[in-house]
Amino acid sequence: MTIPRIATAVTALGVAGLVGWTGPASASISASRPPAPGLGRYLGQHPDWGACPSDAPELTKAGAECAKVRVPLDYAAPGGPSVEIAVSRIKAKDRAHRRGILLANPGGPGGAGLEYTALMRPAMKDAADRYDLIGFDPRFVGRSTPIHCGNGPKPADTHSRREAFEASVRNAKDTAERCYAHGNNAALLPHASSRNVARDMDLIRAVLGERKLSYYGISYGADLGAAYTQMFPRNADRIVIDSVTDPAKTQYENFQAAGPAQERGLSEWAVWTAERSAEYKLGGTPRQVRATVERISAQTDRGPLTLGEYKLHPSVLGLFLRQMVGLEENNDVLARSVQNLADAAAGRQVTPIPELAGWLGLFNDPSPELDNLFNSGNAFLCGDGGWPAGGWPSEPERYWRNIEAARPTQPVFAATANAIFPCPFWKTKPREPGVAVDNRVPLLLLQATRDNNVPYEGAVALHRRLRGSRMITADLRSHGVYGRGVDGLTPVPCADDAVNAYLRTGALPATDRTCAHPEERR
């Protein structure tokens, strides 16, 4: 139920800036109150509910219905063009105690959410029965009006760190140019912002005739929930945000902050693996295990590794390792993958294990879905500009200097945490100033202490700004706390129970709470 695994690593990894709005469209949209100027024509919509897409089996199994809702492309000019938002609805079972609607977002940015409420429904237990569960693909994502940029050239083989960096700069520039030139993107890209997604959420609420909406969001979806409470405080009902970023940091700074945390996650994995040296044979001490990974990383910098039909380039290795160290439950898969990588680095013929092969296949033969995931994510990363406006250094050499400065303490993740994105070359600039999240809207915030995707300190900082919030801390290495059991991960009942009680009753915990590591209860 947590954020889709590929979206976690490929796009913003939960790091999303939120931009503010200073014009009249920041007013609440309501079927019962006068709408913001020009939005009245959208309130008269009657969604044509029908069957959900055949490739969304969880929705079909849940008895959901799907429709499209039209929203303004530009809320500052609502009389202009519109775009479509794909929505799903699973009606409340307990009509006598129906609370209203609950929207959800699985993260990204770039993560499709049409099926997400169906996936999270088992975690909600009987609390789900009181809500119409509303899934949606955000603007420009998935089945909503999408952004595609077309696939760029295959990654070039490089043979040094500097060559790899220069190739990443060329790729970032090429992506920015392709995205602007492709299809109707020049008209769409200026309106890719988290603020506009929050406005779309509020318009969905109004079209459905609801006074308020409840919400669950993870990672980027959690930041989006915080933005919604700031923009539409009167319309926020029961809000749960899970695994958030530091509101004082720009997007790039949040990426940088994750580097040291990922090195710590790798060291934690190395301890686990060394204790099982007879099984994995990657070293009898944590230092030896880490040294194995560092040698593989350094060798990949000198040229791609060959694993069966695939080539593994440095950037993909960094993303894969980042993904793997994010969850304790990945320990075994990472250890077996490193065995593959060590064999390939030694010049042996290797058939990668299925988990590694699946990852390599994504990047060796990208699909239109991956194009949309990558590039709708880029559109929001570059269009938002950071919690405060801006945040992406404009000079490529600054990224190189930051990578090199980080290498002594981040031998594996320096290049990934300080990587250049297309944003310095993006053809459109953020249209709105940054939002300062600072309110008393009641909500529940969850964070894992050893989240190395969005470090714990950032959640503490946002908790201070959300002065009506309560915080549930879970002692584990994970990106995402609620509903882990649905994904086959070790659940945190303490957190699950707190969320479901809040969604059921509206009562927040009396105080902040720390949940012990799940294994410690056994």
pLDDT in tens, 282-299: 999 999 999 999 999 999
pLDDT in tens, 222-271: 999 999 999 999 999 999 999 999 999 988 999 999 999 999 999 999 99
Instruction: Compute the distance between CA of residue 8 and CA of residue 32 in angstroms, rounded to an integer.
Output: 38
Mean pLDDT over residues 162-174, rounded?
97
Domain that holds residue 312: 156-174+254-352+391-429
Q: Hey, how many other C-beta atoms are within 10 angstroms of the C-beta on 159? A: 11
**Looking at the structure, do residues 464 and 320 belong to the same domain, yes or no?**
no
**Looking at the structure, do residues 93 and 49 belong to the same domain, yes or no?**
yes
pLDDT in tens, 302-317: 999 999 999 999 999 9
The predicted pLDDT at position 431 comes to 87
pLDDT in tens, 139-160: 999 999 999 999 888 888 999 9
**Looking at the structure, do residues 100 and 226 belong to the same domain, yes or no?**
yes
Stretch among 83-92, 102-111, 264-273, 365-374 having the lowest mean pLDDT:
365-374
Is residue 27 over pLDDT 60? no
The predicted pLDDT at position 489 comes to 96
**Looking at the structure, do residues 160 and 238 belong to the same domain, yes or no?**
no
Residue 201 lies in a domain: yes
Q: Hey, how many other C-beta atoms are within 10 angstroms of the C-beta on 404? A: 15
Residue 386 lies in a domain: no
**Looking at the structure, do residues 231 and 303 belong to the same domain, yes or no?**
no
pLDDT-based confidence at 520, cuts 50/70/90?
Answer: low
Mean pLDDT over residues 38-59, rounded?
94
> How much of the chain exceeds pLDDT 70, in percent?
91
Mean pLDDT over residues 466-471, rounded?
98
The predicted pLDDT at position 29 comes to 45
Residue 359 lies in a domain: no
Q: What's the half-sphere exposure (Cβ side, CA atoms, 13 Å) at 453? A: 38
Is residue 23 over pLDDT 60? no
Is residue 417 over pLDDT 60? yes
Is residue 112 over pLDDT 90? yes
**Looking at the structure, do residues 160 and 208 belong to the same domain, yes or no?**
no
pLDDT-based confidence at 406, cuts 50/70/90?
Answer: very high
**Looking at the structure, do residues 308 and 189 belong to the same domain, yes or no?**
no
Stretch among 354-368, 410-424, 462-476, 492-506 having the lowest mean pLDDT:
354-368
Return the CATH number at 219: 3.40.50.1820
Q: Which of 334, 328, 294, 329 minimizes the C-alpha distance to 314? A: 294
Choose the final residue of a domain: 429, 450, 478.
429
Q: Which residues contact 405 (CB under 8 A, 6 or more apart)?
A: none
Mean pLDDT of the chain: 90
The predicted pLDDT at position 385 comes to 60
The predicted pLDDT at position 38 comes to 79
Distances (CA, A) of 153 to 25, 169, 175, 465: 41, 13, 10, 44
The predicted pLDDT at position 28 comes to 42
Q: Are 113 and 135 in contact (CB under 8 A)?
A: yes
Task: Count how many domains the chain has.
Answer: 2
Choose the final residue of a domain: 429, 456, 478.
429
pLDDT in tens, 187-217: 999 999 999 999 999 999 999 999 999 999 9
Mean pLDDT over residues 501-515, rounded?
97
Q: Are 47 and 88 in contact (CB under 8 A)?
A: no
Is residue 36 over pLDDT 70? no
The predicted pLDDT at position 19 comes to 25
Residue 384 lies in a domain: no
Q: In this structure, which amino acid lies at residue 492?
A: V
pLDDT in tens, 60-96: 999 999 999 999 999 999 999 999 999 999 999 999 9
The predicted pLDDT at position 386 comes to 55
pLDDT-based confidence at 3, cuts 50/70/90?
Answer: very low
What is the distance of C-alpha 194 from the center of its chain?
12
Residue 79, SS3 per DSSP: coil
DSSP string over 443-478: EEEEEETT-SSS-HHHHHHHHHHBTTEEEEEE-SS-
Catalytic residues: 219, 451, 479
> How much of the chain exceeds pLDDT 90, in percent?
84
The predicted pLDDT at position 416 comes to 97
**Looking at the structure, do residues 315 and 263 belong to the same domain, yes or no?**
yes
Residue 405 lies in a domain: yes
The predicted pLDDT at position 289 comes to 98
Is residue 9 over pLDDT 50? no
**Looking at the structure, do residues 416 and 467 belong to the same domain, yes or no?**
no
Q: Which residues contact 123 (CB under 8 A, 6 or more apart)?
A: 1, 482, 483, 485, 486, 496, 500
pLDDT-based confidence at 384, cuts 50/70/90?
Answer: confident
pLDDT-based confidence at 390, cuts 50/70/90?
Answer: low
Residue 515 lies in a domain: yes
pLDDT in tens, 320-349: 999 999 999 999 999 999 999 999 999 999
Residue 385 lies in a domain: no
pLDDT-based confidence at 182, cuts 50/70/90?
Answer: very high
**Looking at the structure, do residues 20 and 49 belong to the same domain, yes or no?**
yes
Mean pLDDT over residues 12-38, rounded?
37
| Residue appearing with tokens 């030896």 | 288
**Looking at the structure, do residues 119 and 221 belong to the same domain, yes or no?**
yes
- Select the more confidently predicted residue: 19 or 132: 132
**Looking at the structure, do residues 91 and 166 belong to the same domain, yes or no?**
no
Q: Hey, how many other C-beta atoms are within 10 angstroms of the C-beta on 61? A: 9
Mean pLDDT over residues 356-378, rounded?
90
Residue 179 lies in a domain: no
Angle at 376 between CA 209 and CA 383, to 5 degrees: 85
Instruction: Compute the distance between CA of residue 258 and CA of residue 152 in angstroms, rounded to an integer.
Output: 27
Q: Which two tokens stand for residue 360?
A: 């390599």
